[in-house]
Amino acid sequence: MDTTHFDLVVIGGGPGGYAAALYAASAGLQVAMVERDTVGGTCLNRGCIPAKELLETAAVVRTVKHAGDFGVVVEPKALDWTVTQGRKQAVIDKLVGGLGQLLKGRKVTVLNGTGTLGPSRTVEVVAATGERVTLTGDAVVLASGSVPRTIPGFEPGGAVVTSDEFFHIPQVPYRAVVIGGGAIGCEFASTLADLGSQVTILEALPKILPGCDDDVTRVVQQAFKKKGIDIRTGVAVTGHRRSPTGAGTGAGTGTVVEFGEGEEVECDLVVVSVGRRPLTEGLLRPGTLVGTGPRGHIEVDATCRTAEPGVWAVGDVIDSPQLAHVAFAEAIVAIKDLLGEDPAPVDDGKVPWAIYCHPEVAFAGYSEAAAKEAGYDVVTSRHRFAGNSRAQILGETDGLVKIIAERNEDGTGGRILGVHMVGPWVTEQLSGGYLAVNWEATVDEVAEFLQPHPSLTELFGESVLALTGRSLHG
């Protein structure tokens, strides 16, 4: 085999790229994957994995804090941030190592460098050393991912960080301002508050977690207030300056963030989490038909084909939900498409969402407002974890499950349109709801299924059962 020619060349080694490489290799293709940094991309190195690992540290802090409720005396309580950071890095390293082994096991050629697509599916790879190699592929998958958006005047540096820098902060700040109350903002705010920081969220829209069902957002808002998080919505940040009084902890840079109509808040860390933008700089040489849209995403059709024959794009670089599991799914669609297998496209409106703040959020399908906006006549059922036995045993009773279904003529629920959860471990409980929404199952069908007792998932069963017009506990 000519070593510079492959069945498939993948640019980018994050979830989109490595999934494309692994899936294609498992289908028998000869694959090269180009990655300039560490395999695993944003997700493994500076996104999902470190964020959830630190959230788990926060969960341990909460458990220790409430150990006395169970009669368990734990003294003294302190956080050794070096150990915390070390554990987080060890989890990342193990996963990155495992991914490297998987790629090796499937004989994927991994090239360390920056890949640029030229005409006729040529990919030029430039290593950090300046060394160059040109590859050609029968097919190419572009999976260059995304980077944090910034706000003018809030570029990273000093006390200002994005998610890229957040995971390396030298200590837990005494006071933090989180700009943007989306998924990243809420996960960081939740982590910091549980670790002892005084946190303020500044969100431009009228509510945090703008994509979530209103009932879910309300629960998160109340729980965040209980943690002492100050949530300021409908406010724009206007600038920041060094604080004359210095940092609250005596280290770092005390900073005053200006927002709204002349308001300000003092802090030691400013976390900018206002979304992510697709990363296409240096990705494309002139001469290909690959096009980008108004917000910089690579334009693709339903099976992730770009306008250039034989070139697909997947993951955060295209305009779809910026979630690692969506990138996995798109990668499978792209590879099946290039194999001529006529795959079903990913339905962006029905993918599972999981936000790991405390309390956790998980949902699939329409929120109540979105279903009504789409013209559905709906009936909903809401059940709270406060009445669930397992939640009481855990001491985690904040939260609810909400089912949105089409209304039958007799007022009972028909097809399940959306399942929305907030509360303990809901990110691990969504699969039944996700299946119901994507299977286009009806309330009557799903109500037949048993849930173990006592379990948190009983609340999902109970919420569906209630829409049949009869119920047990709800």
Question: Any bridge partners for residue 135, and if so which?
Answer: 123
Q: Which residue, 158 or 210, is less far from ligand NAI as judged by CB?
A: 210
Q: Which residue, 412 or 438, is less far from ligand NAI as judged by CB?
A: 438
Distances (CA, A) of 69 to 53, 228, 386, 395: 25, 20, 17, 9
Check the CA dihedral 386-388-389-395 and report its sign: negative
Q: Is 327 helix (H, G, I), strand (E, B) or coil?
A: helix
| Residues near ligand NAI (CB under 6 A), total | 26
Active-site residue, from 168, 383, 420, 453: 453
Tokens of 142: 């572009």
Q: Which residue in 322, 324, 315, 314 sits closest to 43, CA to CA?
A: 324
- 46 part of the interface to ligand NAI, by CB under 6 A: no
The span of 219-227, 338-346, 347-355, 384-392 binding ligand NAI (CB under 6 A) equals 347-355
Interface with ligand NAI in residues 203-222 (CB under 6 A): 203-205, 210
The span of 6-14, 18-26, 133-141, 349-357 binding ligand NAI (CB under 6 A) equals 349-357
Query: Looking up tokens 């959860």, which residue turns up?
Result: 421
Q: Which residue, 276 or 402, is less far from ligand NAI as judged by CB?
A: 276
Q: Which residue, 71 or 206, is less far from ligand NAI as judged by CB?
A: 206
The span of 1-9, 270-278, 298-306, 374-382 binding ligand NAI (CB under 6 A) equals 270-278
Number of Cβ within 10 Å of residue 294's Cβ equals: 7
Q: Which amino acid is at 253?
A: T
* Cβ atoms 384, 197 nearer than 8 A: no
Minimum CB–partner distance for residue 416 and ligand NAI (Å): 21
Q: Distance between CA 6 and CA 288 in Å, rounded?
A: 19
Q: Residue with the closest Cβ to ligand NAI?
A: 182
Q: Which residue, 187 or 337, is less far from ligand NAI as judged by CB?
A: 187
Using the rule CB under 6 A, which residue among 276, 297, 305, 358 binds ligand NAI? Answer: 276
Q: Distance between CA 90 and CA 31 in Å, rounded?
A: 29
Q: Is 297 a catalytic residue?
A: no
Using the rule CB under 6 A, which residue among 221, 273, 280, 457 binds ligand NAI? Answer: 273
Distances (CA, A) of 367 to 193, 214, 267, 403, 419: 28, 8, 35, 9, 8
Q: Is 464 helix (H, G, I), strand (E, B) or coil?
A: helix
Q: Using alpha carbons only, how large is the chain's radius of gyration in Å? A: 24
State yes or no: cis peptide before 352, omega within 30 of 0: no
Q: Which residue, 325 or 336, is less far from ligand NAI as judged by CB?
A: 325
Q: Which amino acid is at 148?
A: P
The site string for ligand NAI over 372-411 (x = CB under 6 A, - otherwise) reads ----------------------------------------
The span of 84-92, 137-145, 165-173, 199-207 binding ligand NAI (CB under 6 A) equals 199-207
Q: Which residue in 330, 360, 297, 370 sits closest to 18, CA to CA?
A: 330
Minimum CB–partner distance for residue 430 and ligand NAI (Å): 11
Element spanning 109, H or E: strand 109-112
Distances (CA, A) of 313 to 305, 324, 463: 6, 14, 39
The site string for ligand NAI over 307-326 (x = CB under 6 A, - otherwise) reads ---------------xx---
The site string for ligand NAI over 147-186 (x = CB under 6 A, - otherwise) reads ----x---------------------------xxxxxxx-
Q: Which residue, 108 or 176, is less far from ligand NAI as judged by CB?
A: 176
Q: Name the pairing type of β-strands 146-148 and 353-355.
A: unpaired
Q: Which residue, 351 or 466, is less far from ligand NAI as judged by CB?
A: 351
Number of Cβ within 10 Å of residue 393's Cβ equals: 11
Using the rule CB under 6 A, which residue among 275, 310, 387, 432 binds ligand NAI? Answer: 275
Minimum CB–partner distance for residue 274 and ligand NAI (Å): 4
> Annotated active-site positions, please?
453
Binding site for ligand NAI (CB under 6 A): 151, 179-185, 187, 202-205, 210, 236-237, 273-276, 322-323, 353-356
